[in-house]
Structure 1
Amino acid sequence: MYRPKFIITNKINNELLEIERARGFLEAAQLKGEWIKDMQSAALILEAHHSTHIEGTQLTLSEAQRIFAGKPVTGVRPDDRQELLNYKDAMDFVSEYLDKKSEITEEVIRGIHRILVRDVRGGSLEPGCYRKVQNYVINSITGEIIYTPPSSDEVPALMKEFVEWLNGEKDISPILMAGVAQHRFVDIHPFLDGNGRTARVLCTLILYQNGYDFKRLFSLSEFYDKNRREYYDSIQSVREMGMDMTVWLEYFVKGLKNQMLEVKAKGEVVIKKEIIIERAVQAGLNDRQKKALVYLMENPSISRSEYVELCGVSIRSANYDLAQMEKLGFIERSGVGRAIKYRILPGR
């Protein structure tokens, strides 16, 4: 039976606590469905783009966004486009497992792999089939071999043992389980290609199954891709430390925590906007003034000339609108003459 080796350090415990706090906020927050839907779409694009980018695709985020929107994008490699769309389909596939405690079988994992490498490289990647030859883990930035996985003869037994561990009783946080599973799968490297992507989708599936979907508003791969050297070093640390996963898990939970704090901060801004707009409606502010309040929630201040440009009104109308907002206690001014700036009042 597979038994991962690691220590739950104070750093891991503290990061887990922050993640739980962010999870509690998302569960309790009154966030509008339209905002959640928009953020889910944005997170899916980020996850698909960054996870495939880690593996060597050359698409920019802007190109990925256009492809997802069904808009024409020229000059991109067909395989890059297909890998991006496949990743979206794989994430849609695991979304069907939200809060469902069914077993994660080898066939489920094979199914994820089939989706991820479908119609890529002329179908030469043997979708869903364990490799029959030796493969290697190569740093997509430097081209250097950083790991030689187990032989192909060992793969079936290792995968059987791995899946038995996944579905067995474990006295650890589902978050740590997801982190362990991601690394263990990469370590086995059961497929000819697409192992990193499959591991990251599998990690997401485990989180989803255990109630840690976080409304599907996060992208761990964005965190990995922003500092790939740290990502690779954290993975490699396990092998350098006699298969002790402590350093990797510290990195993994830090990444998830950072993502959740970003989501929490965005959610807090949205809630604050909704409260301010509701007060503005009750106070009888016009659409221009409400637009300016939203602007001030995203920018430190606004001048009369900026108000004119933002709302498309005359200086006279701008002066009237701003004076009324100041009188009602929504904004305050600083400076004199043309240097006057208005900022939203604290507590608004």
Structure 2
Amino acid sequence: MTEPANIIKVNQLKAQLDDMRPLSRQAEDKLWQKLRLEWDFNSNHIEGNTLTYGETMLLLLHDKTTGDHQKREYDEMQAHDVAIHMVRDWAADKERDISEADIKNLNRIILVKPYWKEALTYDGQPTRRQILVGDYKQYPNSVRLKSGEMFHYATPEETPREMQELMDWYKENEIQHPVYLAAELHYRFIRIHPFDDGNGRVARLLVNYVLMRHGYTPIIIKSADKENYLTALQKADAGDRAAFWEYIAQQQIWSLELELKAAKGESIDEPEDIDKEIARLKKEHQQNTVIAANGLHDSIYHFIEGNIIPLFEEIDLRCSELSELFLRNERTIMIRTEKRGVRLITEEKSFQSLMKEILKIEKGKNSLIMDARYSFAFDGLKTAVEQFRIIIGLEVFFERFHVRIVSSSLGSDVIYPYSKTLSKPERLNLIAPQIKEVLNLVKQASDH
């Protein structure tokens, strides 16, 4: 049987590369940095992460953040980078076989911690489900196709058995061509969809584990090529498995050609790399311009006046309305500066006048504000026999390049640049989960 043209090309490039290995340390480091950043950025971007390539580079190479993203997006990008290094180490250890426990560990690492996510029931009804990390799914994770039909993966009951069968199949077929083996492992894994979330990222980690283990270059499935990637998977679902093998082979050709350039001492930069760098510098410049023009001190005060006062007013208004249901209530506003902390509890003054008074005092002293906090304590529900106390609030931290807002109900911190102006819906999204918590507790206590 004649090999497909893409596999013939892969074999030719691999043979050339083997003659030129090992690469110099400098070439190897530069190649790995590019592959690693492309892999992190594209695999996460396919799944909806909104960090740009430049923000990904800044985060992973310099441990700095910029941009208007949820903290979870930064956390998952860093966690995925940890998983990449782990897979690379596993592939280098020829005495070590990958296991189900390893695959579960990859899922645990890339998802960081449990969280809530919108989902569909088996019959296609919207629902909300807590995503548990590092273990197989407990509920069906069906998806709705463009046609409107539901596509069903393995059930939670079937998943442990099918994953064991997948691992047995993999060990029995390691003699296959690595590109076929990697592609087929990806396809079979996705058909099971063993986890509540993170299946695509884990599948792409497994592809590159197989390739690196057999001396091939890790591939990058570009987010810009997502439609072709999904089409190849859909063709495999329709019985044309070779379409997906061919797709993975095409990506392997790109990676092998990139490594050959590195081995020859040629530039491995691509035309789009220049565009990425320009976009990164423009965004960084735009953010730093705000701080440079105003100074960090004035940028903080501008953000407080334009965003934090309205945000705190939104939550204060709703807390005040709910306070009538309780026996005792206490509002606390705290602003911490470089030199001292300010703690005020008030019921007399309006919220806005109180905040502006504090700002005027601190601004007059040229005092750099480090953080601002609002909390409201509800104590003793008037209509309930069993009493409870609940405290809600927001913490705002003013950091070098961005503002970080923390709330236990958000699931992750939210990060904004100093140039950001929050709309009313954005402010409401920050406070709504906490208000709903109070309402639910009141309802539960009243029902009893």
Fold conserved between structures, TM > 0.5: yes
**How many Å separate the matches in 1 of 2:56 and 2:19?**
30
Matching residue of 1:136? 142
Question: Which residue is 2:330 aligned to?
Answer: none
Matches within 5 A, 1:148-227: 148-212=152-216, 214=217, 218-222=218-222, 225-227=223-225
- For 2:207, give the aligned amino acid: C
Counterpart for residue 20 of structure 1: 14
Alignment correspondent of 2:230: 232
Report the TM-score, using the length of structure 2 for normalisation.
0.52
Q: Is the 8 A contact 1:130 1:190 kept in 2?
A: yes
Residue 261 of structure 2 is matched in structure 1 by: 265
CA contact (8 A) 1:181 1:203 kept: yes
**Greater percentage in helix:** 1
Bigger proportion of residues as strand? 2
CA shift, 1:209, in A, is 2.4
Cα shift at 1:10 = 2.3
The offset of 1:146, in angstroms, is 7.5
Structure 2 unaligned regions, length at least 5:
118-129, 268-448
Residue aligning to 1:88:
81
Moved beyond 6 Å, runs of 4+: 142-146
Higher relative contact order (CA 8 A, sep 6+): 1
Q: Could you say what secondary structure the match of 1:233 adopts?
A: helix
Q: Say whether the 8 Å CA contact 1:185–1:199 is kept in structure 2.
A: yes
Residue 210 of structure 1 deviates from its aligned partner by 2.5
Q: Secondary structure at the match of 1:153?
A: coil
- Contact 1:113 1:127 (C-alpha < 8 Å) held by counterparts: yes
Give the whole-Å Cα distance in 1 for the aligned partners of 2:85 and 2:5.
33
Map 1:1-348 → 2, pairs under 5 A = 9-27=3-21, 31-68=23-60, 69-97=62-90, 98-119=92-113, 121=115, 124-137=130-143, 147-212=151-216, 214=217, 218-222=218-222, 225-241=223-239, 244-270=240-266
Q: 2: CA distance between counterparts of 1:118 and 1:143? A: 33
Cα gap change, 1:8 to 1:50, in 2 (>3 Å): farther
Cα shift at 1:37:
1.3
Contact 1:25 1:264 in 2 (8 A): no
Distance in 1 separating the partners of 2:181 and 2:138: 28
Percent of aligned pairs with the same residue?
Answer: 21
Deviation at 1:251, TM superposition (A): 0.8
Q: Which residue of the partner structure matches residue 283 of structure 1? A: none
User: Per the alignment, in what secondary structure is the counterpart of residue 190 of structure 1?
Assistant: coil
- Specify the code of the residue in structure 1 equivalent to 2:225: N
Cα deviation, 1:252-306, whole Å, max 9, x if unaligned, reads: 11111122112312432449xxxxxxxxxxxxxxxxxxxxxxxxxxxxxxxxxxx
Structure of higher CA gyration radius: 2
Query: Structure 1: how far apart are the matches of 2:247 and 2:154?
Result: 24
CA–CA distance in 2 between the matches of 1:81 and 1:25?
A: 40
Deviation at 1:8, TM superposition (A): 7.1
| In structure 1, distance between residues paired with 2:207 and 2:237 | 20
Structure 1 range deviating more: 186-195 or 142-151? 142-151
- 1:65 and 1:117 map into 2 onto residues whose CA distance is 20
Contact 2:21 2:263 in 1 (8 A): no
Distance 1:99 1:193, change over 3 A: same
Relative distance call for 1:169 and 1:101 in structure 2 (3 A) is: farther
Evaluate the alpha carbon distance shift between residue 101 and residue 182 of structure 1 in structure 2; reply closer, same or farther with a 3 A threshold: farther
Q: Shift of residue 170 of structure 1?
A: 4.3
Structure 1 gap ranges (5+): 1-6, 272-348
What SS class does the counterpart of residue 67 from structure 2 fall into? coil
Alpha carbons of 1:100 and 1:122: their partners in 2 closer, same or farther (altered >3 Å)? farther
CA distance in 2, matches of 1:119, 1:173: 36
For residues 8 and 126 of structure 1, the distance between their equivalents in structure 2, rounded to whole angstroms, comes to 46
C-alpha deviations, 1:196-248, integer Å up to 9, x for none?
00011111122222233x3xxx44233xx23111100001101112xx41110
Residue identity opposite 1:252 in structure 2? I
Q: Alpha carbon RMSD of aligned pairs, Å?
A: 2.6
How many pairs align?
253
CA spacing shift, 1:133–1:102, aligned 2, 3 Å: same
